[in-house]
Chain A
Amino acid sequence: MDLAIQISLTVNGVAVSRRVEPRQSLVDFLRYGLELTGSHVGCEHGVCGACTVRVDGAIARGCLMLAVQCDGCRVETIEGVAGTGEVFDLQQAFAQENALQCGFCTPGMLLTAQDLLARKPAASAQEIREALSGNYCRCTGYHAIVEAVRKTAEARGRA
């Protein structure tokens, strides 16, 4: 039985049309269908945040949306926001603060932090911790990540 469905969407500003199986998650579609492997897959049940992407401008779990649901949507991944330079300063700060080691959590951290700073440019360390509480890092111990985000917020405030 062929259950596949045709979908059309934009991914990082590029129009894409594909046939997908309904059971394929958005993050698997990005990774296997489009070879955009910057979005990672950790837990597949919404707790780790490694799969975080933006759908129509709002951050969402790529493992908890089906690709078929994104028909007609605007999807952005770490490749997209890094490519446009939107998170360049955050990336620099992560590198400077040693806020990544293996890098598995980093794309999700960057998208989540960018979402926070867009809504709350002067976010406190406490607010940063709360916003990142849905993103797991098994390497850094989080402190450096919070520092990197806080310093970026400060720098953007001065700019």
Chain B
Amino acid sequence: MKPVPFAYHRPASLDEALALMERYGADGRVLAGGQSLVPALNMRLAAPAALIDINRLPGLDGISLEPEGLVIGALARHEAVEASPLVARHAPLIAQAMPHVGHRAIRTRGTVGGTVALADPAAELPACLVALDAIVRVTGRGSRRDIPVQRFFRGIYTTDLAPGEIVTAVVALPIGPGWRSRFTELARRHGDYALVGLAAHCRVEGGVIREARLAFCGVGATPVRASRAEATLSGRRPDADVVAEAGRALDADLDPPGDVHASPALRRHLARVLLARAVAQIVT
């Protein structure tokens, strides 16, 4: 199918983009990588009166280490994040997740800002950001907010973004001493959205897990922290019994949906498989 006709704007500055968003209100849509919005236009699931293409806004695609943390600009493409030495060093969890996002021809276009603004419950990056306690930085006309991710993701395709606001960056604290990360997921085919994915971020000391942060994607409306499994692992040496106990704790942490891709029971099972794999990789 072909999209319904729309007007196209390519603002050259953030101010101009925000003014256009104000002008069009709910009839305007921001166009970033277009890897989710353009399919929706093609299938006429979305029919905005105007697109506001932010791809050429200057300075929004940078990745840099700042006093407040690792700042990844909203227009950084998945591919650039995957290749960034800064991300590999300071947020290895995010670097590990990137190859799982779609296919290369998608990652050359898809952006960090678009992924968080979309808030797909199966997406990898939001789970990583939750595990890392990151911040989503947004700008509106005359306002700027730093929103903790846990508050940013509110439901399926639903965020804390107010009308007229643009995501400009995500900010993660650089990984601290002793912390280790592992992103794993299970999908039926490479490049498909995950049936279940796990962003695991743990502080390990002499083979003992001191702190554990586990965020799952694909098992709920937003990324889900597995607090009971985290508590089960914390302060312990993760031998087979401890990992099995943490796996059982997941049953209370997760209430996964069933759909054409997998039943709730299969998703629970896969979550336990991923937990065991991630823990093994983190402590060895």
> Which residues does A use to contact B, with CB under 8 Å?
1, 3, 5, 21-23, 25, 28, 44-46, 49, 52, 58-61, 63-66, 68-69, 71, 112, 115-116, 129-131, 133-134
B105 touches A49 (CB 8 A): yes
**Minimal beta-carbon separation of A13 from chain B (angstroms):** 21
A134 touches B106 (CB 8 A): yes
26 contacts between A and B (CB under 8 A): A1-B5, A5-B8, A22-B5, A22-B7, A22-B8, A23-B6, A44-B42, A44-B43, A45-B39, A45-B43, A46-B35, A46-B39, A49-B105, A58-B108, A59-B104, A60-B105, A61-B35, A64-B39, A66-B8, A69-B34, A112-B104, A112-B105, A130-B191, A131-B104, A133-B191, A134-B103
* Interface flag for B124 (CB, 8 Å): no
Q: Kindly list the 8 A-B residue pairs having the minimum CB-CB distance in the complex, ordered from nearest.
A: A134-B103, A22-B8, A45-B39, A58-B108, A23-B3, A133-B190, A64-B38, A59-B105
Chain A residues near B94 (CB, 8 Å)? none
User: Does B4 lie at the interface of the complex (its beta carbon under 8 Å from any beta carbon of A)?
Assistant: yes
Q: Which of these, B6, B7, B42, contacts A25 with CB under 8 Å? A: B42
Select one of A1, A21, A65, A133 contacting B109, CB under 8 A: A65
Contact present for B103 and A133 (CB under 8 Å): yes
Among residues of A, the one whose C-beta sits closest to the C-beta of B51 is: A22
Evaluate whether A134 and B8 lie within 8 angstroms (CB atoms) in the complex, with A65-B34, A66-B34 already known: no
A73 to B104, CA, bound (A): 19
What residue in chain B is nearest A116 (Cβ atoms)? B104
Closest to B5 in A: A23
Q: Which of B4, B7, B108 contacts A60 (CB 8 A)?
A: B108
| Residues from 190 to 239 in B contacting A, C-beta threshold 8 Å | 190-191
A45 engages B190 (CB within 8 Å)? no
CA distance A109 to B105 in the complex (A): 12
Tell me if A64 and B35 are in contact (CB < 8 A): yes
Among A45, A60, A115, the residue within 8 A (CB) of B42 is A45
Given contacts A45-B42, A49-B103, 6 further A-B pairs with CB under 8 A are A3-B5, A23-B4, A44-B1, A46-B102, A69-B53, A134-B103
List of A residues within 8 angstroms of B4 by Cβ:
23
A62 to chain B minimum Cβ distance, whole angstroms, is 9
CB proximity to A under 8 Å, residues B3-22: 3-8, 10
